[in-house]
Amino acid sequence: MTPTETVHAFFDAYSKADLDASFALFHPEVHHTADSYNTVSRFCGTWDGLDALRSRVHDIIEHWSFETFAPVKVVAQGDDVAVKVHAVGVERHTGQRIEMNTALFFTVQDGRIVAVDEIFDSALIERAMEHPAA
């Protein structure tokens, strides 16, 4: 698979809630950052290795139900694939619904995702987690 095909396969599996197929696309020593400059949000930071990534994804799923998490625009150059993602989700404990665009930057080598950097509106997520829906 090309890097772009690998990233599309990830989104396809993730959209079907097929976590096993999603995780199979990652290298065992994957490096993942999500708004790593933010030291407040539990969903921001750095994770190294597939087990750490699995733990993060399960933490997200515990709190969020996504109606949509889909690529809107994909740009690739060599091993690097940048994706603008449209996300719509509901926080499971507060019932708050959010809609936002995020950016994910993948590095793919030999058909496996070796790194992914994620940028999103962490303040929007934190507000949705703190305030119950009306």
| DSSP string computed for 26-89 | EEEEEEEEESTT-SS-TT-EEEESHHHHHHHHHHHHHHEEEEEEEEEEEEEETTEEEEEEEEEE
- pLDDT tens column, 90-116: 999 999 999 999 999 999 999 999 999
Mean pLDDT of 15-32: 95
Mean pLDDT of 38-50: 78
pLDDT at residue 54 greater than cutoff 60? yes
Domain that holds residue 69: 3-130
For the chain, the average pLDDT equals 90
Residue 8: its H or E element: helix 3-15
Number of domains present in the structure of the chain: 1
Residue 81 belongs to domain with CATH number = 3.10.450.50
131 secondary structure, DSSP code: S
Angle at CA of residue 30, ends 28 and 35, nearest 5°: 150
pLDDT of residue 76: 98
**8: closest CA among 16, 50, 43, 58?**
16
Q: Label residue 20 by pLDDT band (50, 70, 90).
A: very high
